[in-house]
Structure 1
Amino acid sequence: MRKARSAAILTAAATAAALAFPGAAHAAVISQAFAADSGDSCHYGSSSGTLGWQVGPSPLPGPGVAVSGKVADRPLPVDPGAVCRNDGYSSTVTFVAYLSGAEVDRQSRTADNATVTFSFTLGAAAKGVDRVDVQVCRNPVITLPPSYCGRAVTYLRPAGA
């Protein structure tokens, strides 16, 4: 009798946990590599890393995309010789999250003659993200613009995410 009661209590607890966190048992992440650069011949600005698309039991897009990686602006202290001369610009990578064509979040990170690592969630407050655009732009540090940007790279929500 005690074993049956203990089993019933454990079953009830597991059921309650599953109802309280319905997606927890099926939640997963699909990692997708990203890369973008400033589009100039020296590749002064570049960014790379991973996008972590949340996967759940629902066919709708997950609530956010985990972004981790780095943005680099040349010349770097470790560059051999004068690969890229210091041009007085910094590099900024911008991530824009969309759901059904509407922007839901935007975040940027900047480096100046250095490498900066980052990790954040894009679109966490949104009802989902189905596309992320990544673009690296160069902006003058001391003088007035003009600024310039490399081509924006679009990453779509992977099938199954």
Structure 2
Amino acid sequence: MATDAELVTQIEAMGGKLAEARASIAKRFIGQDTVVDLTLASLLCGGHALLIGLPGLGKTRLVDTLSTVMGLHGNRIQFTPDLMPADILGSEVLETAADGTRDFRFIEGPVFCQLLMADEINRASPRTQSALLQAMQEKEVTIAGEHRPLGVPF
């Protein structure tokens, strides 16, 4: 177990890194310090954030900047009415090898990342929304009876 002095040192180091991250984000995302602070807080807490705003206010740019600054693998899903759960989660495909044998291979969907921007989720079908919300809650998806963990953090 760490001593009090070690914990203080670790907390101060984390505060310095967080200040560097905020400064880097501020170079690209100007004038919305409160939004940046709250988004960073939700990211550090391991939670999810709902970004609401008019078009053109920089929501997508903020998520893209966060993934770059924090060194996270980020994806963006544009939800549409015709989007299916398999389009975001992934699916198994049947492949035939050169020797004629067949085997299933899993192709990951865009939800397999660390930072996901789910854009206009209200436009998706209830089944697709449910698939995303389940992935957010359980931090894993089940495809063909196999549990597949999502990125850490998610």
TM-score, L = length of structure 2: 0.28
Superposition TM-score, scaled by structure 1 size: 0.27
Structure with bigger strand share is 1
Point out the structure with max Rg over C-alpha. Answer: 1
